[in-house]
Amino acid sequence: MEGFIALYIFMLAAFTGYEVISKVPVILHTPLMSGSNFVHGIVLVGAMVALGHADTTPERIIGFIAVLLGAGNAVGGYVVTERMLEMFKSSKEDR
Amino acid sequence: MQDVLPVGLAHWLIQASYFLAAILFIWGLKKMSHPRTARGGVLWAGIGMVVATVITFAEPGMHNYLLMTTAIFVGGVLAWWTGKRVAMTDIPQMIALYNGMGGGSAAAIAAVELLRVYTGAGLSYEAFAARELAVLGALIGTIAFSGSLIAFAKLQGWMRKVYRFPAQQALNGMLFVALLVLGFLLARTEFPAGALYAFFALALLIGVLMTIPIGGADMPVVISLYNALTGLAVGFEGFVLQNPAMMIAGIVVGSAGSLLTQLMAKAMNRSLSNVLFAGFGTGDDGGSALEVSGSMKAIDPTDAAMTLTYAEKVIIVPGYGMAVAQAQHKIWELTQVLIEKGVKVSFAIHPVAGRMPGHMNVLLAEAGVPYDLIYDLEDINSQFANTDVALVIGANDVVNPAARKDTSSPIYGMPILNADKARNVFVVKRGQGTGFSGIENLLFFEDNTRMCYGDAQDVAQKLIAGAKSA
């Protein structure tokens, strides 16, 4: 991938993140922080690739830690976000 | 080990899945910005995560599958178990913990890549700026890792002290310069193994040193900042691994998190540099210079209940003290009794009413309070003037009129809920002490204010009994 294409991706992603959040009500700040915390759990796939290509013992150990932590980020982030959002109900809905 | 799929097909499937995951993440985040669609949002983002993770097993040329599956299983199960069990009041520190894990993971990826440089194998992808980004991601991810762990320890109550010592900023500055020099070395030339270890050790230390002088009240802003930093680190390592899903998701979170950090800091009347480089709630701010006039007047819960029942309009102002006393269920019960009696009840939430902006909404939602009874500061502040009773429970600084009147107060200029404008103000409070920031609350001395002393849960119980019999 050319360096400039990466730069374009960085630039567009930065604007996207800014736009997606800019209209969020305060009521959702905590779940949204938790939700974005979950989204960067995608680091798990990078950790898997790093461990998958590790050839020496130090690389394997650190790669193992990377996958372990990445999985923790993704799963933990999902569980707490889902638990919080599950409770948001309107009085107009059936409960 | 044999590849799972033919190489060409595997590459195509992986790229297509990452593309789909990126769309689902952005769409999910968008849906998460409205209460009605928020739950669907996290579900879609979750599907994106599962798709991306599963397809990654098909990446050609990989080995260590047993280690990989074990790590995913152990990390996933531990996180699942803790995430399901944590109490809603403890959510902020769990976000810090999971975020720290993400930062640590990004840093560990960078460590593997830099080890490959050290052994002469080279980065997975050598290109313009790839080494610099690997080192930068390592730096940011490591700081987010150790910083988040300290934030977790502080919010969990394992580290109550605020550590401040002379020339702290100068020391941090010097360490940071040393870190940058080491990082430059790693990014440029062949380096000794010692430089690699020193780099990570120093980055860990900086994360700790940056976080220990920050007080508990400012911790939400710090967690949000580290969340953004982890996003950036993930994005940078995504570039090093040429992984578009990581690049997009990481940078989206990096920028969204930065904005969220600013919004939170603004809601708390703090600037980011103030949070990071100055103390707050540590006693060095000095007290209020304004003379307090009048006295605090107590009221019996039964009398308070009577006034509540015959009111037309009541606004409840909950603070974190209510959550500490676990009184939110009782308050919702009281609200239901009052609504049955024809009283119009709404909840006014200050952005920092919980332990972070939006946290109080989560706690009320857990108790069953529907979100359409809950109003933000801007939406409800004008209504206090035609409200019969403002019921303040466990809140203090966020209703302190000193923020409007007293230019010498440390909280001067902070947006507050104008509870003092209501005809009657009832304050449910444990005792006569000052709030989180140690500032005297002028509201408690107003003529229209009555203090209802006691544990929030007990008082709420008495209010319910009183309202029912009225």
Q: What would the pLDDT profile of B265-316 be if each residue is shown by its tens digit?
A: 877 777 787 777 765 444 444 444 455 667 788 888 888 998 999 999 999 9
Cα R_g (chain B), whole angstroms:
26
With CA atoms as reference, the chain B residue closest to A9 would be B248
Q: Which residues of A touch B329 (CB under 8 A)?
A: none
DSSP secondary structure code for residue A4 in this structure: H
Note the pLDDT of residue B291. 56
Q: Are B411 and B402 in contact (CB under 8 A)?
A: yes
Q: Which residue of A has its CA nearest to B235?
A: A10
- Chain-wide mean pLDDT for chain A? 88
What pLDDT sits at residue B165?
A: 76
Q: Provide the token pair at B93.
A: 């520190």
State pTM to two decimals: 0.84
Amino acid at B259: L
Question: DSSP state, B33?
Answer: T
Q: What is the pLDDT of residues B109-141, one digit of tens each?
A: 999 998 888 877 777 777 777 888 899 999 999
Crossing angle of helices B456-469/B301-309, nearest 10°?
50
Residue B279 confidence (pLDDT): 52
Residues B434, B435, B439, B444, CA torsion sign: negative
Tell me the nearest-neighbour CA distance from A71 into chain B, angstroms.
Answer: 5
CA B13 from centre of chain: 36
With bands split at pLDDT 50, 70 and 90, how would you rate the model's confidence at A94?
A: very low
Query: Residue B382 CB: number of other CB atoms within 10 A?
Result: 10
The torsion defined by the Cα of B95, B101, B106 and B108, in degrees rounded to 10, comes to 170
Question: Contact B241/B110 with Cβ under 8 angstroms?
Answer: no
| Residue B388 pLDDT | 92
d(CA A15, CA B256): 9
The tokens for B201 are 């050790």
Q: Which of B397, B406, B420, B455 is catalytic?
A: B397
Hunting for tokens 């009605």 — which residue is that?
A: B36
- For residue B467, report the phi and psi dihedrals to the nearest 5 degrees: -70, -35
Q: How confident is the model at residue A87 (pLDDT cuts 50, 70, 90)?
A: confident
The answer for B 98-127 residues in CB contact with A (under 8 A) is 98-99, 101-102, 104-106, 108-109, 111-113, 115-116, 119, 121, 124, 127
Give bridge partners of residue B450 from the DSSP assignment: B426
Question: So what's the pLDDT on residue B395?
Answer: 86
Partners of B316 in the β-ladder: B347, B391
8 A C-beta contact, residue B369 and residue B318: no
Start-end of H helices in B89-162: 91-118, 130-156
| CA B400, chain centre distance (Å) | 23
**pLDDT recorded at residue B281:** 42
Rounded CA separation B6/B383 (Å)? 66
Decide if B458 is catalytic. no
Instruction: Give the residue ranges of chain B where pLDDT is below 50.
Output: 280-289
Among A17, A70, A80, whose Cβ lies nearest the Cβ of B253? Answer: A17
Nearest CA to B328 among B84, B156, B88? Answer: B88
**In this predicted complex, what is the ipTM?**
0.93
Q: Note whether B347 and B315 are within 8 A (CB).
A: yes
- Cα distance between residue B305 and residue B463, in whole Å: 5
- The pLDDT of residue A59 is above 70: yes
| Torsion, Cα of A59, A63, A65, A70 (10° steps) | 160
Decide if B442 contacts B324 (C-beta within 8 A): no
